[in-house]
Structure 1
Amino acid sequence: MDKIIVGIAEGKIAKGDQVLVSYALGSCVGVCLYDWQEHIAGMAHVILPCTEYAADKTNLYKFADQGVRELIREMERHGARKGRMTAKIAGGARMFETSGNTMDIGRRNVEAVRCSLEQEGIKLTAQDTGRNYGRTISFHAGDGTLKISTVRHADIML
């Protein structure tokens, strides 16, 4: 099993027996796209909902709105077809209690990812989002399985 680490504001592709792994998703969202016919997996680790408030807009994978589109394009360059892609997402936690929802960046990230997937016509088949704890995710290119690990909870397989 070949492990490929997807860091903050990165997007990467895997094939065959490769596994994409992203550690410590708090308010960030791990976007996992899969072409079931070609067994091509893609993962983006997005940290903000959109480019609107960012000073540096050069890294598209930083943003939910642009990161989803960039991941689709990268997967297509590797032989995937958008029409066969499905999505699974994880993360978007509310890591700190604040008064009101204006600062709930995790919720806003999840909403932005869902909106981007819908705009691109990609079906969201599974998710583990929200709550108040971080997650580590492992996305298997061979079968599209997403494993979610946390410190105080049992692993989840999506």
Structure 2
Amino acid sequence: MEIIVSISDMKVTNRAKDVLVTHALGSCLGLAAYDPVAGVAGLIHCLLPLARENRGPAKNPYMYVNIGVPQMMRALFNRGATRENLILKAAGCGRMMHISNQFDTGANNFAALKKLLQVNEMRLAAEDVGGTIPRTMRVYAETGRVVVSSCGRSWDL
């Protein structure tokens, strides 16, 4: 069953037949996680890099890399995943419409993820980030296979 992960959304599953999918990854970050031992998969679609602490608690934590990704990790751990077994793959973080300024959201999203992973001594197994194409990302819960597609083409990540 295909389960849609919307913008600023996250889903976790341990049902082998599920496929988690997110569309329209432009400057947004798509992060897939899979633990082959626990048989659990997750996908998050983050819009922005950082939730501002001075604005109070975020109404939607999945909107932000710095608080959404840790929440997805907790959800995976609650289903039996371990840090040692997690396979992480990232897509998106592009520069849409060739805009170049200090608000390079895609690059900032990826930098926030890299910092978060470094602090937690984790790393990406694969990435398809940057550029100017919109991406769709699918995670197959049975195998952890991640497929990215754009403009009529698809490829494994």
Give the structure-1-normalised TM-score: 0.90
**Which residue in 2 is equivalent to 1:73?**
74
- The whole-number CA distance in structure 1 between the counterparts of 2:3 and 2:100 is 38
Asked if the contact 2:38–2:79 (Cα under 8 Å) also holds between the matched residues in 1, the reply is no
Asked if the contact 2:31–2:89 (Cα under 8 Å) also holds between the matched residues in 1, the reply is yes
Give the direction of change, closer, same or farther, for the CA distance of 1:39–1:27 in structure 2 (3 Å limit): same
Give the direction of change, closer, same or farther, for the CA distance of 1:18–1:99 in structure 2 (3 Å limit): closer
Deviations 1:104-127 (A, max 9, x none): 111111111122122222220001
- The whole-number CA distance in structure 1 between the counterparts of 2:46 and 2:122 is 17
Q: For structure 2, which runs of at least 5 residues remain unmatched after alignment?
A: none
> Which consecutive aligned stretches of 4+ in structure 1 deviate over 6 angstroms post-superposition?
none
**Which residue in 2 is equivalent to 1:7?**
6
**Number of equivalenced pairs:** 155
Give the direction of change, closer, same or farther, for the CA distance of 1:90–1:54 in structure 2 (3 Å limit): farther
**Which residue in 2 is equivalent to 1:48?**
48
Give the direction of change, closer, same or farther, for the CA distance of 1:3–1:120 in structure 2 (3 Å limit): same
- The whole-number CA distance in structure 1 between the counterparts of 2:54 and 2:149 is 30
Give the structure-2-normalised TM-score: 0.91
- The whole-number CA distance in structure 1 between the counterparts of 2:151 and 2:48 is 24
2:125 counterpart SS class: strand
Q: For structure 1, which runs of at least 5 residues remain unmatched after alignment?
A: none
Quick one: which amino acid aligns to residue 130 of structure 1? G
1:116 counterpart SS class: helix
Asked if the contact 1:34–1:85 (Cα under 8 Å) also holds between the matched residues in 2, the reply is yes
Asked if 1:146 is matched to 2:155, the reply is no
